[in-house]
Chains A and B, each alone.
Chain A
């Protein structure tokens, strides 16, 4: 089985935010929720770069570790998913997540959080694959259709790579060797305890 990962090549990302839009559209994500976002660091200064970030589907995922109701599970492809029927919206995963991936619809009283929503790697959830129920709760299940996440598939500069960790690391490594530089794989050290060695 593959070990699915995301890799954002920040030397290619042009901050077009198409991945964000594609994600919202593909999964009919409600208002106020962004499963993917583009952060620009050093904005307007030397070394400015943009990085598209969503759930990194960590090895030993912190969200799963702190969840009080143990609603997370990892698929055979190492995609970290959660069961919204079990989630109570406590917000702990947001405190633990290094990447700010968990999102909460604002419902009810106080800062009341609804059930957590996050990037599913376009792999849906625990419901039956490609059913209305699954789509309503988790969005499209492209993985079940044999497709990769839409954000990476439609990235115009191919900055965002999705797929088996080994394969996308190889692609990135070749790029870096070709052009002679590369900032590295954002979040990989934190998420997978490894980096793309060139």
Chain B
């Protein structure tokens, strides 16, 4: 036994600082006898720089501080063993002056931080112990997104219904001319419909994730709803690619006709061809169409980028990045859905003759003259020069 005594003393010394700091001399009642020497050693080291381990009587005599022997009390001054170094009062309910679990969680929640550290499994995400910000994301998903999405989509639908009831279907004032003019060529229409068809599936499967469990789940039951949602998820993942390609193509073919200019201000002042009376002059695209174009291109780009962040989880960002990507993706998407509802309405039910532009590509000449007067003039001018040929040219065989 005596052989191990130095080792025991060494062990006590080693463990002393840890216990000493948390135990400035008053362990609670009922602490086992074995703990008694430890605070004493700590106190000795803290208080007497050159001191050795105090002699055994003192160690044994003041074991817990709760039952000091009257004799010892009388001889020494009131706080004989108090170390000169008094550690700062530790936060309640902790040791080693460290913050308690509750305190850390509260602070992390307030600062929007995560509690994390090191982990041995090869998964970076797993090193996060607690991320209270998940609560904010939950709040966004369950409250903000539901409200914004609901108000935007239903609000837009309500506006459109109201508009249709009040104004009815817009017709061509001069009546159909019977002759047509090409508005969009095949390539443009393919680009448009590729984007549009994928957008519709993306929008429906996306709305399903937010609203489906309130609207669809009670009707079709959990199994069918899971099947729908699962296929929706797969479709959503895959159709992201044609959607993105469509956005790029539409941008390339239409950007030069969509640069804002002075005519657009006049168009907005006149209330467009839709709200106001008469039809302000417009080139190939009027200001309203330009707005839809830029919302689609810019909004679509951001939605696509945030979508790719979500599709490859944690490839480029961490948890807060993923949550932010979802927030941006969700909010922008529901707003774009609302805008596109308006776009769909004008292009189909709301205006006679408008659908042909994207349908056959050929629009009625009178419709074109009303809505895109300057563009028609340009086109006709181009046609005339083509027919007439370059200046000085004469028809073949004329001489």
Q: Give the contacting residue for A180; candidates B28, B121, B230, B326; CB below 8 A.
A: B28
Interfacial chain B residues near A111, Cβ < 8 Å: 311-315
Docked-complex contact A68 and B212, CB < 8 angstroms? yes
Given A66-B142, A96-B138, residue A88 in contact with residue B129 (CB < 8 A): no
Q: Is B95 an interface residue (CB 8 A)?
A: yes
Number of A-B contacts (CB under 8 A): 182
Given A62-B135, A183-B94, residue A188 in contact with residue B312 (CB < 8 A): no
Docked-complex contact A39 and B116, CB < 8 angstroms? yes
Docked-complex contact B135 and A98, CB < 8 angstroms? yes
Interfacial chain A residues near B135, Cβ < 8 Å: 62, 96, 98
How far, in whole Å, are A10 and B93 apart by their CA atoms in the complex? 13
Interfacial chain B residues near A99, Cβ < 8 Å: 129-131
Q: Which of B99-107, B282-290, B380-388 contacts A (4 or more CB under 8 A)?
A: B99-107
Interfacial chain A residues near B103, Cβ < 8 Å: 184
Docked-complex contact B119 and A89, CB < 8 angstroms? no
Given A41-B115, A88-B229, A95-B319, residue A189 in contact with residue B101 (CB < 8 A): yes
Task: Write the chain A residue with the least CB distance to B108.
Answer: A190
Interface flags, B282-315, vs A, CB<8A=1, else 0: 0000000000000000000000000000011111
Docked-complex contact A34 and B98, CB < 8 angstroms? no
Q: Is A143 an interface residue (CB 8 A)?
A: no
Docked-complex contact B225 and A69, CB < 8 angstroms? yes
Q: Is A53 an interface residue (CB 8 A)?
A: yes
Q: Is A128 an interface residue (CB 8 A)?
A: no
Given A62-B134, A98-B130, residue A68 in contact with residue B95 (CB < 8 A): no
Docked-complex contact A39 and B233, CB < 8 angstroms? no
How far, in whole Å, are A137 and B35 apart by their CA atoms in the complex? 48
Docked-complex contact A41 and B121, CB < 8 angstroms? no
Q: Is A135 an interface residue (CB 8 A)?
A: no
Docked-complex contact A181 and B94, CB < 8 angstroms? yes
Docked-complex contact B95 and A178, CB < 8 angstroms? no
Q: Is A90 an interface residue (CB 8 A)?
A: yes
Given A17-B120, A41-B117, A182-B95, residue A68 in contact with residue B213 (CB < 8 A): yes
Task: Write the chain A residue with the least CB distance to B238.
Answer: A109
How far, in whole Å, are A192 and B119 apart by their CA atoms in the complex? 25
- Determine how close the nearest CB of chain A comes to the CB of B241; give it in whole angstroms: 10
Interfacial chain B residues near A183, Cβ < 8 Å: 93-95, 98, 100-101
* CB contact list, A66-86 vs B, under 8 A: 66-71, 83, 85-86
Interfacial chain B residues near A42, Cβ < 8 Å: 98, 117
Q: Is A27 an interface residue (CB 8 A)?
A: no
- Determine how close the nearest CB of chain A comes to the CB of B136; give it in whole angstroms: 10
Q: Is B22 an interface residue (CB 8 A)?
A: yes
Interfacial chain B residues near A65, Cβ < 8 Å: 138, 142
Docked-complex contact A90 and B233, CB < 8 angstroms? yes
Q: Give the contacting residue for A39; candidates B28, B93, B101, B117; CB below 8 A.
A: B117
Docked-complex contact A180 and B27, CB < 8 angstroms? yes
Interfacial chain A residues near B209, Cβ < 8 Å: 68, 90, 92
Docked-complex contact A37 and B121, CB < 8 angstroms? yes
Range class of the A interface residue count: 35 or more
Interfacial chain B residues near A62, Cβ < 8 Å: 134-135, 138
Task: Write the chain A residue with the least CB distance to B308.
Answer: A110
Main secondary structure of the interface of B (DSSP, over half): helix
Q: Is A198 an interface residue (CB 8 A)?
A: yes
Interfacial chain B residues near A71, Cβ < 8 Å: 222, 226
Interfacial chain B residues near A11, Cβ < 8 Å: 95
- Determine how close the nearest CB of chain A comes to the CB of B107; give it in whole angstroms: 11
Range class of the B interface residue count: 35 or more
Interfacial chain B residues near A109, Cβ < 8 Å: 237-238
Interfacial chain B residues near A198, Cβ < 8 Å: 93
Task: Write the chain B residue with the least CB distance to A8.
Answer: B101
* CB contact list, B226-267 vs A, under 8 A: 226, 229-230, 233, 237-238
Docked-complex contact A180 and B31, CB < 8 angstroms? yes
Docked-complex contact B129 and A85, CB < 8 angstroms? no
Task: Write the chain A residue with the least CB distance to B123.
Answer: A34
Interfacial chain A residues near B55, Cβ < 8 Å: none
- Determine how close the nearest CB of chain A comes to the CB of B48; give it in whole angstroms: 23
- Determine how close the nearest CB of chain A comes to the CB of B295; give it in whole angstroms: 26
Task: Write the chain B residue with the least CB distance to A42.
Answer: B117
Interfacial chain A residues near B225, Cβ < 8 Å: 69
- Taking beta carbons and an 8 Å cutoff, which residues of A are in contact with B? 10-11, 17, 20, 32, 34, 37-43, 46-47, 49, 51, 53, 62, 65-71, 83, 85-92, 95-100, 109-113, 176-190, 195, 198
Supplied contacts A41-B116, A68-B229, A176-B93, 19 more A-B pairs, CB within 8 Å: A11-B95, A53-B129, A66-B138, A68-B213, A69-B213, A69-B222, A69-B226, A86-B222, A95-B322, A99-B130, A100-B125, A111-B311, A111-B313, A179-B35, A181-B22, A182-B94, A184-B102, A185-B101, A190-B105
Can you list 17 A-B pairs with a CB-CB distance of less than 8 A?
A34-B126, A38-B120, A47-B96, A66-B137, A68-B212, A71-B222, A71-B226, A90-B209, A90-B229, A109-B238, A111-B312, A177-B30, A178-B32, A180-B27, A184-B101, A184-B102, A189-B106
- Taking beta carbons and an 8 Å cutoff, which residues of B are in contact with A? 22-23, 27-28, 30-32, 35, 93-98, 100-103, 105-106, 109, 115-121, 123, 125-132, 134-135, 137-138, 141-142, 208-210, 212-213, 217, 222-223, 225-226, 229-230, 233, 237-238, 311-315, 319, 322-323, 326
